Amino acid sequence: MCGIVGIVDAGGVSLPLYYALFALQHRGQESAGISTYDAGILHKHKEQGLVAEVFNREILTELTGKVGIGHVRYPTTGENQPENTQPLNFSFKGHVFSIVHNGNLVNSKELSSDYEDQGHIFATTTDTEVIAAIIARELTVSGSMEDAIILCMQKLEGSYSVIAMLDGTIYAFRDPLGIKPLCIGKTDSGYMVASESVAMDALGAIFIRDLKPGELVRIDSDGISYRQVTRSSHSAFCIFEYVYFARSDSVIDGVLVYDVRRKIGEMLHNEAPVNAEMISPVPDSGMAFATGYSEASGIPFKEGLIKNRYIGRTFIMPTQKLRENAVRMKLNPVRGHIKGKSVVLVDDSIVRGTTSRRIIELMREFGAREVHFRVGSPPITAPCYLGVDLPTRNDLIAHNRSPGEVCSCISADSLHHISLEALIKATGHSPEDLCCGCLTGCYPLRISGELSKCRDIDFVNGSYQTRLEL
Ligand code: AMP
């Protein structure tokens, strides 16, 4: 999971890219980077840290040009190495080339080992470099960037929203199942592509639409053109974007994410009402869900926990002890609101159970009489292979535990997760068009040792079909 952006604008792109990355900061806090193209030269800057830490006025002044791309990287375990920061930048055969990617390939090992067998060496451990290597090779053979991308897409399996910049032209493409988001907007004097519509809002740009699954967009100073590379009978948009990832003020497929979350909150109340005195979100991710629960139940919405705004995400903490201490630093109960009260706490998800267990304990310490937990996603029981940083099965609290057992583990008075049917209904998508792998253990692509849904994907410009089996 990462945030990506690409802009072509006659007025210059470094500041707009910076603001867009700021708007996408929630999609990744590990590192940030920008590459711009100006008169045959690639200007680049990337570092580990938040957008505000990585860039300053001098750096942005040096990122000249009217075309550029940017990236914020999501903290994943194991690969927190400086060389994995993006954009990845290359020069070959007189071209300068830069690429950013949101997603995760499931066949990158096979692809990179084919390349290594032929003498290719890789400088990073990212699957993004594998995408770059394929594009560069196909471009060298065919001479056409669009053909190179189409051939590349035929080889990739997994989730990918990619923005590539070749010599001042931007190419953006989305995997055939549209697992990760990517949308297009109109800037003052150009166009942009970005992971979420909030990046367009930040620049005062006009949102045009989401890229379709399997679509390729080309943007240069002359304008924008679209090409539908693959057609699939289904898509598989990541349901976790609605639950947790996307900002609530983003619009996906014409629907405001906040409204989806509020609807989930309403449905949570319908499925599991509680006779409580207040509804409190677990900030910030539980906010919209709690609003819906409160509206549907008529029970007052009141903040039972206040979040320290200046603390990063607790997930970055490598050990359980650190994660537990971090929860204490991050969320503080409001004694005056909760003392003697029966409280419904609403959060988006439970992963390891660290946050919920700790905050329920804190709520009781601060005097809450009863703490009922309501969750905006069904139990997460399986890992994600397609880009969301979730632990392996053994570390998921809901794996091999009934909701009753999880309720005792987190010491709640009651626990209810939204049903999968209600969650899907709230998104407005058909179940066929969503990836719910982390909730069902059944994935939209073939993944070794896992169940997968059967889907055929035809390439309009080729004969490729994915081999998906149940
Ligand atoms: P846990 O404490 O392990 O149960 O994690 C649950 C908390 O982490 C919830 O408050 C979520 O908002 C947040 N969360 C859920 N999924 C993720 C993720 N993939 N990366 C970072 N934070 C997450």
pLDDT 10s digits, 376-432: 999 999 999 999 989 999 999 999 999 999 999 999 999 999 999 999 999 999 999
CATH architecture classification, 256-427: 3-Layer(aba) Sandwich (3.40)
Please identify every residue annotated as catalytic: 2
User: Could you read off the pLDDT of 24-66 as tens digits, one per residue?
Assistant: 999 999 999 999 999 999 999 999 999 999 999 999 999 999 9
Query: Looking at the predicted structure, is the pLDDT value of residue 460 above 80?
Result: no
Q: And the tokens for 124?
A: 């990073």
Q: What percent of the chain has pLDDT over 70?
A: 93
Ligand 1 atom with the smallest distance to the CA of 388 is 19
Q: Give the domain ranges of the chain.
A: 3-233+461-468, 256-427
- Tell me the average pLDDT across 349-362: 95
Q: What is the pLDDT of residue 77?
A: 45
CA-384 nearest atom, ligand 1: 19
> How much is the pLDDT for 240?
97
Residues facing residue 224 across a β-bridge: 219
Q: What integer pLDDT is reported at residue 247 of this predicted model?
A: 97
Ligand 1 centroid distance, CA of 146 (Å): 38
Per-residue confidence (pLDDT) for residue 82, from 0 to 100: 82
Q: What pLDDT is stored for residue 318 in this prediction?
A: 57
Cα distance between residue 241 and residue 362, in whole Å: 29
**Residue of 194 and 75 predicted with greater confidence:** 194
User: Which atom of ligand 1 has the smallest separation from the CA of 348?
Assistant: 12
Query: Is 165's C-beta closer than 6 angstroms to any atom of ligand 1?
Result: no
Q: Is 182 in the pocket of ligand 1 (CB under 6 A)?
A: no
Distance CA 207, CA 201 (A): 8
**pLDDT of 22 strictly over 70:** yes
Residues 465 and 458: beta-carbon distance below 8 Å: yes
Adjacent-strand bridge partners of 257: none
Is residue 380 a contact partner of residue 398, using CB atoms and an 8 Å limit? yes
How high is the pLDDT of residue 222? 97
Distance 441 CA to ligand 1 centre (A): 18
Q: Kindly give the pairing relationship between strand 434-435 and strand 457-459.
A: unpaired
Buried b (16+ CB within 10 A) or exposed e, 19-43: bbbbbbebbbbbbbbbbbbbeeebb
Position with higher pLDDT, 202 vs 311: 202
Mutate to test the pocket of ligand 1, among 244, 377, 392 (most ligand atoms within 8 A of CB): 244
Q: Is the pTM of this model over 0.85?
A: yes
Q: Is 241 in the pocket of ligand 1 (CB under 6 A)?
A: no
Check residue 327 and give its pLDDT: 78
Closest ligand 1 atom to residue 389 Cα is: 19
Q: Where are the alpha helices (DSSP H) in 171-218?
A: 198-203
Residue 466 pLDDT exceeds 80: no
Q: Given pLDDT bands bounded at 50, 70 and 90, which one contains residue 1? A: confident
pLDDT for 464 equals 34
Fold of 3-233+461-468: Glutamine Phosphoribosylpyrophosphate, subunit 1, domain 1 (3.60.20)
Find the range with the poorest average confidence among 145-159, 163-177, 455-469: 455-469
Residue 470 pLDDT: 32
Is the pLDDT at 361 greater than 90, yes or no? yes
* Statement: residue 265 has pLDDT above 80: yes
285 Cα–ligand 1 center, Å: 9
Long-range contacts formed by 123-127: CB under 8 A, 24+ apart: 123/83, 124/81, 124/83, 124/84, 124/88, 125/79, 125/81, 125/84, 126/79, 126/84, 126/86, 126/88, 126/101, 127/101, 127/158
Residue range 125-157, pLDDT digits in tens: 999 999 999 999 999 999 999 999 999 999 999
Average pLDDT over residues 311-317: 56
The 8 Å CB, 24+ separation contacts for 59-62 are: 60/14, 60/15, 60/18, 61/14
C-alpha distances (whole Å) from 188 to each of 8, 37, 101, 203 are 10, 19, 25, 9
Whether 295 shows a pLDDT value over 50: the answer reads: yes
The SS3 assignment for 403 reads: helix
Residue 323: CB within 6 Å of ligand 1? no
* Cβ of 324 less than 6 Å from ligand 1: no
Q: Render pLDDT for 196-207 as a digit per residue (tens, 0 to 9).
A: 999 999 999 999
Mean pLDDT of 309-331: 70
User: Which comes out higher in pLDDT, residue 324 or 205?
Assistant: 205
State the pLDDT at residue 312.
61
**pLDDT at 456 exceeding the cut of 60:** no
Q: Is the pLDDT of residue 6 over 60?
A: yes
Average pLDDT over residues 341-368: 96
Cβ of 355 less than 6 Å from ligand 1: yes
Predicted pLDDT at 459: 42
Say if residue 225's pLDDT is above 80: yes
pLDDT attached to residue 311: 74
> 246 pLDDT exceeds 90?
yes
What is the CA(354)–ligand 1 centre distance, in A?
9
pLDDT for res 204: 98
C-alpha span between 334 and 303 (Å, rounded): 7
What's the pLDDT band for 243 if we cut at 50, 70, 90? very high
